[in-house]
A and B are shown apart, each in its own frame.
Chain A
Amino acid sequence: MKIEGTALPVGDDIDTDLIIPTFALQKSRDPRTFADYAFCHTIPGFKEIPEKIIVAGHNFGCGSSREEAVFALLYADVKAVLARSFAPIFKRNAFNNALLSIEMDTSRIKKSDPLRIDLDRKTVCDTTTGEDYSFTLTAAEETLIQHGGLLPMLRKRLANP
């Protein structure tokens, strides 16, 4: 499987309040509405930026455990998140919703660089610099991506106890 998108750098220590502020959490029960408020304090028009791949520094997704942060990114057309490191709860929530979150050195990727992720070869190619980055996923992370997240797996487990 291949994923293509454009690099959107966001820096270090992006907390989940920045990704989706509290005032937006209960506007509606429809999770698609979270996309309208994703990064609303710092990146105006975030939702409209097409086919984006977030390129972060350290500790992406720190703070609150709100899974709405992942919903906001998914419904705002974020294809994947690349970061030097992820806060643990965010990373769980991301894979539980099949949002690909790759830990790698992101320091040389520039804004708007076209990126190509090859899930089979486990590489990220920055097509501007031609640089190839390899990454790893745990077996569980691969399983979650393949099944479309934890909910379908829970469904299966409950149906066949």
Chain B
Amino acid sequence: MPTLVETIVSKHKESPVRAGDEIEELPVDRLLINDVAAVQLVERYREIEDLLPAPFDPSSVFVVLDHVVPPCDSVIADNLQRTKQFARTLHLNLFKEGEGIEHVLLPENNLVSPGDILLGTDSHTCTNGALGCFAFGIGITDALFVLFTGTFYNFVVPETVLLTCSGKLQKGVYAKDLILYVLSHLDQQKMLNKVLQFSGPVFASMPLDGMLTVCNMTTEISAKTGIMPYETREDLSAEFAERYTFDVTPLEPVVAVPHSPLNGKPVAELTVEITKAFLGSCTNSRLSDLQVAASILRGKKVKDTVDLYIVPGSRKIYEKIQESGILSTFIQAGAVILPPNCAACFGRHMGVLGPSDVCISSANRNFVGRMGSKDAKVYLGSPATVAASALTGMITDPREVLP
């Protein structure tokens, strides 16, 4: 029996495929392009523009301005104008500055569906696998090929690893803790270029926001992508490269220590003073993430030695926290509210770290220099851990402060 990805690819190729099969041109349903990748993509487009190529399906191509918006210098401002012009000339869907983060926007607006193939010029395109689609990141040359042919050149069907999670997450332990834990327990070399298929009762009862968080971080172990059987059926008798089972009931809050997202450690083992707390990114900036943080921050003040940045993942989420009073909770707690964008997770603007900064972040990467200075230290945790730590000034187990 086929895996989820084999089923999706077979349908697109209109004949049964197995892991290892090579497909000269794989039909693709949707393409995602962000503002950073767009700069060089548009430059390369100039080299084929004379052939007057037409996009395969402009309505299925999404150009999202999210990485460095609003622009922080005039070069970037110019790049954004060129990208807007490119999108408008080719009649592509354009998400303007402030609409939100690409991997928040697509699921939020039902722009991807189970069984789709979605490619994007961003490694975290894998996030969308939570919706049961086959989604993975590509570079700009592959993206140009997809844009003008509707296909991905020379695709090899990847093998799948089945990760079954059983049990129940305890209070104060979230999808982020789960994925940080799982990543710290897998052998990177065995996960290379594999699809990680998440299965089991934990995900059946997990809200979509959490599933998106889990799939978001699969690229950190250099997997091909993550996928879940969202509104689709999976066949557990399929041929999997490996199978692992995790019982999440005893799980405690986890933090990935510098400088790898795979360095997950129980929060209880750490004694770390922080200067910055970052709540945002395509991993954790959705409504439920902000609700959890608000429940911890309500009526309290961020520690005077800490700056807390909160970046809602989209305009819609921003609107919802405004309507529900969460925004006031954040402002009264002393947080800095930033407009929907990737912000300091991308290390280019809005909260970039200096050499002596130590940051607890709800994002996905803590590589050397990722959020700014090469000497800064970034710890990755759940939104609850970020909020709890912002109150105490130390990396803190959220169970100590959760109401």
Please give the residue numbers on chain A whose beta carbons come within 8 Å of chain B beta carbons, in ascending order.
13, 15, 17-18, 21-23, 25-29, 31, 41-42, 58-59, 62-68, 70-71, 85, 87-89, 92-93, 96-97, 138, 140, 149-151, 153-155, 157-159
CA distance in complex: A63, B145 (Å): 22
Q: Cβ of A65 and Cβ of B193 under 8 Å apart?
A: no
Q: Cβ of A89 and Cβ of B144 under 8 Å apart?
A: no
Residues in A with CB closer than 8 Å to B51 are 155, 158-159
Residues in A with CB closer than 8 Å to B219 are 63
Query: Per a CB cutoff under 8 Å, which of A31, A58, A64, A155 touches B43?
Result: A31
Query: Per a CB cutoff under 8 Å, which of B40, B76, B193 touches A67?
Result: B40
* 23 pairs of residues in contact across A and B, judged by CB atoms under 8 Å: A13-B260, A18-B368, A22-B370, A26-B39, A41-B368, A63-B365, A64-B365, A65-B121, A65-B125, A66-B37, A67-B139, A67-B140, A68-B40, A70-B139, A89-B139, A96-B141, A97-B141, A150-B141, A151-B44, A154-B148, A155-B51, A158-B51, A159-B51
The answer to whether B88 has its CB under 8 Å from any CB of chain A is: no
Q: Cβ of A26 and Cβ of B365 under 8 Å apart?
A: no
| B346 to A, closest residue via Cβ | A22
Q: Chain B interface residue count: which class?
A: 35 or more
- Report B135-165 residues with CB < 8 Å from chain A CB: 136-142, 144-145, 148-149, 153-154, 156
Q: Cβ of A155 and Cβ of B48 under 8 Å apart?
A: yes
Residues in A with CB closer than 8 Å to B79 are 26, 29
The answer to whether B374 has its CB under 8 Å from any CB of chain A is: yes
The answer to whether B68 has its CB under 8 Å from any CB of chain A is: yes
Please give the residue numbers on chain B whose beta carbons come within 8 Å of chain A beta carbons, in ascending order.
22, 36-37, 39-40, 43-44, 47-48, 51, 53, 68, 75-76, 79, 121-123, 125, 136-142, 144-145, 148-149, 153-154, 156, 188-189, 192-193, 219-220, 222, 224, 260, 346-348, 365, 367-370, 374
Q: Cβ of A158 and Cβ of B53 under 8 Å apart?
A: yes
CA distance in complex: A105, B369 (Å): 29
CB distance from B316 to the nearest CB of A (A): 26
CA distance in complex: A29, B76 (Å): 10
Residues in B with CB closer than 8 Å to A66 are 36-37, 139
| A89 to B, closest residue via Cβ | B137
Residues in B with CB closer than 8 Å to A96 are 139, 141-142
Q: Cβ of B139 and Cβ of A65 under 8 Å apart?
A: yes
Residues in B with CB closer than 8 Å to A150 are 141-142, 145, 153
Residues in A with CB closer than 8 Å to B37 are 65-67
Q: Cβ of B47 and Cβ of A155 under 8 Å apart?
A: yes
CA distance in complex: A138, B68 (Å): 37
Query: Which of B138, B154, B346, B370 has the most chain A CB atoms closer than 10 A to its own CB?
Result: B154
CB distance from B109 to the nearest CB of A (A): 22
Q: 6 smallest A-B Cβ distances: which pairs?
A: A67-B139, A93-B139, A140-B154, A65-B137, A96-B141, A41-B374
Residues in B with CB closer than 8 Å to A71 are 40
CA distance in complex: A151, B143 (Å): 11
Q: Cβ of B192 and Cβ of A85 under 8 Å apart?
A: yes
Q: Cβ of A151 and Cβ of B138 under 8 Å apart?
A: no
| With A13-B260, A67-B40: A151-B188 Cβ-Cβ less than 8 Å | no
Q: Cβ of B76 and Cβ of A26 under 8 Å apart?
A: yes
CA distance in complex: A154, B22 (Å): 19
Q: Cβ of A64 and Cβ of B123 under 8 Å apart?
A: yes
Q: Cβ of B44 and Cβ of A88 under 8 Å apart?
A: no
Residues in B with CB closer than 8 Å to A97 are 141
| With A87-B192, A87-B222, A151-B48: A25-B36 Cβ-Cβ less than 8 Å | yes
Q: Cβ of A88 and Cβ of B47 under 8 Å apart?
A: no
